[in-house]
Amino acid sequence: MRLSLAGSWTTQLDSDLMGVLPKANENCWCGSNKKFKRCHKSKKTVSPGHITPQRSVPDTITKPTWADGGTVERWDEPQVKSPEIIERMRLTAVEAADTLAYLGSLCKPGVTTEEIDVACHTMAIEKESYPSPLNYPGALDPFPKSVCTSVNEVICHGIPDDRELEDGDIINIDVTLFKRGVHGDTNATFFVGDVDELSKELTIVTRDCLRYGIDAAKPGQPINAIGRAIQNHAEAKGFGVVRDFVGHGIGEQFHTDLQICHYYHPGLTDIIEPGMTFTIEPMITTGSWRADMWNDGWTATTADCSRTAQFEHTLLIEDDGAVILTEPTDTSTHPYWAL
Ligand code: MF3
Ligand code: CO
Ligand code: CO
């Protein structure tokens, strides 16, 4: 979700100046002494496509408040969940993960992101769940589809449309289901056909960033230990960490006010406690961490059009560390799943 921490840009992280966008003929930010246009600037590969009308969800399915033109109801949800809520979250999270694994298997050249959306919508309804992104309010229009599909330089919140996947693309699919009164939120990046080595490395490093973030999410540690671990790994590999979008508390609400930055933020000193549930969902780039937004108010891309990957899990903090709730039933269904 979008970062809304007060003062978050004033922390002057060491790497804040990295990734600031130069003009095409100026030196690249990376220190190569090459012109930006000959170094980290890439070409746009995705543009706005045709979006079909919104699909309906049967009335037999319990819907969140935004489903029928409403708004997001917000309340002070405890960060530490009751055992009863945790039990419901476990079940819903696995169903979201199974849906994601199935959608990943569809990512072949020629398949449109619209087809992936139809599959997600159908599968959600089969599972008697509501696809949480559908009609979720945003800065402009509500999100019109049931899943986010983000291709190549799209960081997150890509809207499924008529673009056909091409050999060499990477695509992130972000599934959230609402069932039993709780949300389960998970995403992964998939390869379409034969992908270049840099995109493979980016995807693997991003998966590892999530793993390091999860390992750092131990009770007694501050929340910012998570971002520190992620940023250390990504920047050691020469990659950028997106700042504008963060992980979040989750439960009966899709996004609670708990924010999980994927970079080191000195202000995030709340202590991680057993019973907390939140997502970690690092977005890593091969270039600058700067983001741009399309006019649709949703699609976020890297400002330099460098490629970007993401992985997300919904987690439960237990006494000895974080447990992944969004583990699919069959862990072999995705090549990078065995986290
Ligand atoms: N699932 C996304 C997240 O990880 C949020 C999507 S909001 C939507 O937080 F409206 F775009 F679906
Ligand atoms: Co999320
Ligand atoms: Co998500």
Cα-based angle 150, 107, 316 (whole degrees, multiple of 5):
65
Q: Which residues contact 202 (CB under 8 A, 6 or more apart)?
A: 170, 239, 284, 285, 286, 307, 308, 309
Per domain, the residue ranges of the chain are: 62-67+77-338
**Overall average pLDDT of the 235-239 stretch:** 95
What pLDDT sits at residue 41? Answer: 85
| Nearest residue to 214 (alpha-carbon basis) of 144, 272, 140 | 272
203, 215, 254, 305, 318 from 209: Cα distances, Å = 10, 10, 23, 21, 20
Q: Which two tokens stand for residue 5?
A: 């921490």
Which residues crowd ion ligand 2, with CB under 5 Å?
185, 279
Q: What is the pLDDT of residue 9?
A: 41
- Which among 3, 51, 174, 311 is the best mutation to test ligand 1's pocket, defined by most ligand atoms within 8 Å of the CB? 174
pLDDT at position 337 over 80: no
CA of 13 relative to ligand 2 center, distance in Å: 24
Tell the residue nearest (CA) to atom 8 of ligand 1: 133
Q: How far apart are CA 44 and CA 306, in angstroms?
A: 9
Q: Which atom of ligand 1 is nearest to the CA of 157?
A: 11
Give yes or no for residue 11 having a pLDDT over 50. Answer: no
Distance 186 CA to ligand 3 centre (A): 5
Pocket of ligand 1 (CB under 6 A): 1, 133, 136, 143, 148, 157, 174, 176, 185, 248, 279, 281, 312
Give the position, in ligand 1's atom list, of the atom nearest the Cα of 145. 12
Residue type, 219: P
pTM: predicted TM-score of the whole model, two decimal places: 0.95
Q: Which residues contact 109 (CB under 8 A, 6 or more apart)?
A: 164, 165, 166, 167, 192, 193
- In degrees, rounded to 5, the angle at the alpha carbon of residue 248 between the alpha carbons of residues 216 and 132 is 135
pLDDT tens, residue by residue, 101-131: 999 999 999 999 999 999 999 999 999 999 9
CATH of domain 62-67+77-338: 3.90.230.10
Rg of the chain taking only CA atoms, in angstroms? 19
Q: How far is ligand 2, taken at its centre, from the CA of residue 186, in Å?
A: 7
Ligand found nearest the CA of 149 = 1
Query: Average pLDDT of 152-173?
Result: 98
CA pair distance 238, 124, nearest whole angstrom: 38
Query: Burial level of 184, CB count in 10 A (0-12/13-18/19+)?
Result: buried
Question: Tell me: the pLDDT tens digits for 57-107?
Answer: 999 999 999 999 789 999 999 999 999 999 999 999 999 999 999 999 999
* Tokens 């945790």 found at: 86
Where do we find the tokens 């995109």? 199
Question: What average pLDDT is seen over the chain?
Answer: 94
Q: Which residues face 249 on adjacent strands?
A: 278
279 pLDDT tier (thresholds 50, 70, 90): very high
Distance (Å, whole) CA 220 – CA 261: 18
